[in-house]
A and B are shown apart, each in its own frame.
Chain A
Amino acid sequence: MARELWKGNEALAEAAVRAGVVAYFGYPITPQTELLEYLSLRMVRLGRTFLQAESELAAINMVYGVACTGVRVMTSSSSPGISLMQEGLSYIAASEVPVVLVDIMRGGPGLGNIQPSQGDYFQVTRSCGHGDFRPLVLAPATVQEGVDLVYEAFDLAEKYRTVVIVVADGNIGQMMEPAEMPPMRDISTEQPDWALVGADGRSHRIITSLFLSAEKLETLNLRLQAKVQRVRENEVRYREHRAEDADILMVGFGTMGRIAQTAADMARQKGIRAGVFRPVSLFPFPSAALETRSHQARRILVVEMSAGQMLEDVRLAVGKDYPVEFYGRMGGVIPLPDEVFDAVEKIHAEMCHD
């Protein structure tokens, strides 16, 4: 399959189709709408289910219902829509059914605006709903990486019977880049042994998130925590750019990772050894790899399109004594490479005075 030019949102949608998504439920919201629009035609032509729900609440609960039947199902939205889905996501997590969710982040809080942002970091990594659970969170920086991660997200969701969130900002949803699509998978006809598909000839199964006994609910929670532990051990992903000899190590995800990459190249041209550590899995956060890399660097500069949310995970990874600086913009303002370079240069000047 040759490389073709894809708009981010549409590429993510096609990747889900190829991964064998059987049903999509969603509600339009900029800057994510092309994902839903694309599927509205593609899914119907393939004889699969596409349904535009009356709201995000309805969409996530439809997703919950279909997930209980053991088939591949997804929804997508943008920041305020994800907020609305939190109750459903918590129920899904407690019910241990696999679901894939795409969040194309926009400026917040509130209705905010439709410009790119990374202000959902806390929302998606900390739990995305009440109670003790952690979704697996993957953050692409390019259209190709988004395609690959969405394709894999369905496998991961089934492997751990969990919520997998692919999170990108509006830039990645709206931009066009060459991408190569993975092969079309057959729709699986295997039914998992927990799926609710009619109890003809066997005893019934129950999927629920209600456990009135404290002991039983604690048992569920221990199972969820064991799952989180396995995710932490097995699903860490990150990428680096000129990090191996960097004095100043920038840490940024998604679009900010790319902008930091350009800023690092600008710094190198001025003789400043800068590099980039780009977390791809936001949960599990690549703490150990970052901590190891931090020994060789002298300063860390976290860059985000937010007030500094991933910053907290970086600080947890490297410890309170490590010098961690931050540069970010909010409200849908994208920090341009020269601004990030200026922040690098300032840190470099301070290091020279130390």
Chain B
Amino acid sequence: MGLRRLGSPFFLLTLLFSGLSAGCSTPALPLNERLNRVWHEAEIETARPRTISDAHFLRRLYLDLTGLPPKPEVILQFLKDKDPEKRIKMVDKLLVSDEFAVYQAHLWGDELRIKAEFPINLWPNAVQKYSRYIYETIRDNVPYDRFARELLTSSGSNFRIPAANFFRAAADRSPKGLAQVTSQTFFGKPLSAWSVREQEQFIPFFTCIGYKSSKEWKEEFVFFKSPAPGSEMITAAVPGRRKVEIPAGTDPRKILADEIIASEPFAEAMVCRAWRRLFGREPVTPELSVLRREMAGRFRAGGFDLRQLYREILLSPAYSLPPGTPEEEKVFAAYPIRRLNAEQISDRLSMFLRKPFESYSSVIPEPFTFLPPGTRASAIEDGSISSPFLDLMGKPPRDSGAPEERKDVITGKQKLFLLNSGKLYRELQQAQKHYLRQKNDNLKKRVIRLYLAALARPVTPQELAFLEKKYKSTPPKLRGRFYTDLLWALVNSNEFIYQY
């Protein structure tokens, strides 16, 4: 029915008219030009350098795309590289890397509520299946529309058909509850953000989703629950779209998928999501509405290519800008400083300490799950698996899928942990042995090595001079403590736990 409506003369006319009008009033501009125009209109002119250093760019890129900082050898190689296109090449390399797929799958896991326990109760079997599916989808760069369609229309066992978990992973599986998770996932806003009328028209799409169980522990099947023959056809509408009539024997989810994908907010929500993952904020201000629409248009026209969407943002001037004022951040004329998320901090610590900072297990399955030693915090599939450190740092509970669940703010308790933790102190002492044990070493070499490992950048001459002065003024007996203090200070530095 939905396809029929798409092919109707009225719809084609509407599409043509809206395209023409859009084209007449605001011709689509490439992202760089659009950003420049936005900045010009916002009267943002700065005397600061308009691009960050290579080391800074590499660190930012690695943390945003893979969740991890670059390794010292990667930094040195990148800095040595004289290729003027090395940033572009690095973006392309990371977008096809396994680390990108793992980290992005983890972030998707937050939004798709992949969690074994209450209130989602997906159970470990479905969690591992669903997570692997998300990972493979990103690894293979499956077009976003196909991904959405699979999530919205899949039926079958949630242990075997991973995409069927979309309608399984909801705390409230009433039609309204499913409408809520669908709106949150594909429109980036809760159901309550729509008008009452729009909500009422949207909910009927979810009235024919059935569930059944088997004799396998916690297995559930999601399927189209066909209404009795002779039942009235369902009338429903996706917010911002016209009403559609669905005959009784047709699975409304198929029409729903068509309608959602065809709707404007669908592509725009993904554009916003990509900005949020790279900048920590979405282009939702009125002055960025044209930018958002234009990007969504290109995203749609390009076949919903997620890598291309990321690439466009990453290679825009906005991504290479240094931090600035809140007014500049509002229009992406500066890179917003934000705390790294809980998993990033844990993984960073593991990298710097050269051993897993934490090990993860779960007592939900029996025998218990013991994730392999060295498993990255951002590779934990199950939202129910956590640790006191991750909880302290604001790991999201994955209850609603809303981005607000993740608490990336620094608190007093977090600062106290980083300053006072006995565990961290012991681990730093162990790591110190590694960093200092190399032969023919001197202070300079050690400091360079420590800065690369801890802050993912070379030490500046000023910093080095300061440290040399400090080292010389330290009595020889206490010089061992000098390095302990340095390691401790690096871990507690803003650069260690902030993305900037």
Indicate whether A and B interact: no
Q: Which residues of A contact B (CB under 8 A)?
A: none
